[in-house]
Amino acid sequence: MSVHSVNRRLMAPDISALKGDRPIVALTSYHAHTAAIADKYCDMLLVGDSLGMVMHGYETTLPVTMDMMVVHGRAVVRGAKRALVVVDMPFGTYEESPSVAFRNCAHVMKQTDCGAVKLEGGRRMAETIRYLVDRGIPVMAHVGLTPQSINVLGGFKTQGRTRAEWAAIEEDARVVTEAGAFSVLLEAIAAPLAARITASIPVPTIGIGASSACDGQILVMEDMLGLSPRVPKFVKKFGAVATAIEDAIKSYAEDVGSRRFPEEQHAYGMKEPEGAPSAAPPAQGPATKKPKKLST
């Protein structure tokens, strides 16, 4: 199935149906104009909580709020017309209980009109995923490296590098799939493990640093465009946007400083009736009244 083979926005079941058909193309997006461009080529756009780092300058995703996700989610939905838009649920908005998760996820979906949400966590989130799906909220699960748990993991560490770690991660993927997740994002896990998980579950796996064995791939858009100053090993830079932006700003500053910009074609002239003088007469100073002569 092509993104252009259906005359509507893609939905979670459409993404699930792509498993075994062709690779799924996904990217993050945080604003309407990049969403409109990516929408031509992507099956799915993720409004990731990574926006806290790449858009707002935080060191981690933990400070991201639900209001931030709603603002950026609305923008992406407005920009994209075909791709499924998935919104990340930020840290602290879904872990407390299934009912709290439902209230917050429903709020995000109603406010953004997105097509699904994404939750981090495996077995510990299975009950919540089932609760949400049973109540009409499509869920993308996220296992392996879960950035919202870096304080427990001890940093952004690759998962599954030893076989002793495999069973727990495989179990995470299995239980979230059984709970009803329409796809599973695998982040920063060893390639052989990603291949095993992809072969063992009936829904698509979307890899980010998890090898080409996955059913699809996703990257942070700013990373793959060469806009982020530091990127993980698994990122391939498909562009050099940071260099292009800096070159453009440097040229702008030089032109402003030397008065080469703006030129005549960048300025607005006057609209005057035919026969009217081309320029207003010089401004006169304020009229002054002669002082009255005082009678004696």
Indicate the number of domains in the chain. 1
Span 98-122, pLDDT tens digits: 999 999 999 999 999 999 999 999 9
What mean pLDDT comes out for the span 239-246?
96
Higher-pLDDT residue of 219 and 275 is 219
pLDDT digits (tens, 9 = 90+) for 157-214: 889 999 999 999 999 999 999 999 999 999 999 999 999 999 999 999 999 999 999 9
- pTM value is 0.89
Please state the three-class secondary structure of the chain as a single string: CCCCCCCCCCCHHHHHCCCCCCCEEEEECCCHHHHHHHCCCCCEEEECCCHHHHCCCCCCCCCCCHHHHHHHHHHHHHHCCCCEEEEECCCCCCCCCHHHHHHHHHHHHHHHCCCEEEEEECHHHHHHHHHHHHCCCCEEEEEECCHHHHHHHCCCCCECCCHHHHHHHHHHHHHHHHCCCCEEEEECECHHHHHHHHHHCCCCEEEECCCCCCCEEEECHHHHCCCCCCCCCCCCCCCCHHHHHHHHHHHHHHHHHCCCCCCHHHCCCCCCCCCCCCCCCCCCCCCCCCCCCCCC
Residue 286 belongs to a domain: no
With 50 as the cut, is the pLDDT of residue 296 above it? no
Mean pLDDT, residues 24-50: 98
pLDDT at site 6: 66
Residue 271, annotated as binding a ligand = no
Is residue 272 very low, low, confident or very high in pLDDT (cuts 50, 70, 90)? confident
pLDDT surpasses 50 at 51: yes
Q: Could you tell me the pLDDT band of residue 284, with boundaries at 50, 70 and 90? A: low
- Whether 1 maps to a domain, the answer reads no
* 49 marked among binding-site residues: yes
pLDDT of 283 > 60? The answer is: no
Inform me whether the pLDDT recorded for 285 exceeds 70. Answer: no
Give a yes or no: residue 288 inside a domain: no
On whether residue 292 sits in a domain, the answer given is no
Q: Is residue 215 one of the residues assigned to a domain?
A: yes
Q: What is the pLDDT of residue 259?
A: 96
How does pLDDT run across 57-81, given as a tens digit for each residue? Answer: 999 999 999 999 999 999 999 999 9
Quick check: is 6 in a domain? no
> Which member of 187, 254, 263, 272 is catalytic?
187
153 has pLDDT over 90: no
Report the CATH number at residue 205.
3.20.20.60
Confidence of residue 286 (pLDDT cuts 50, 70, 90): low
In a domain, 79, yes or no: yes
How many percent of the chain have pLDDT more than 90? 84
Q: Is 50 annotated as a binding residue?
A: yes
Mean pLDDT of the chain: 92
State yes or no: 120 annotated in a binding site: yes
Active site residue 96: no
Containing structural domain, residue 196: 12-245
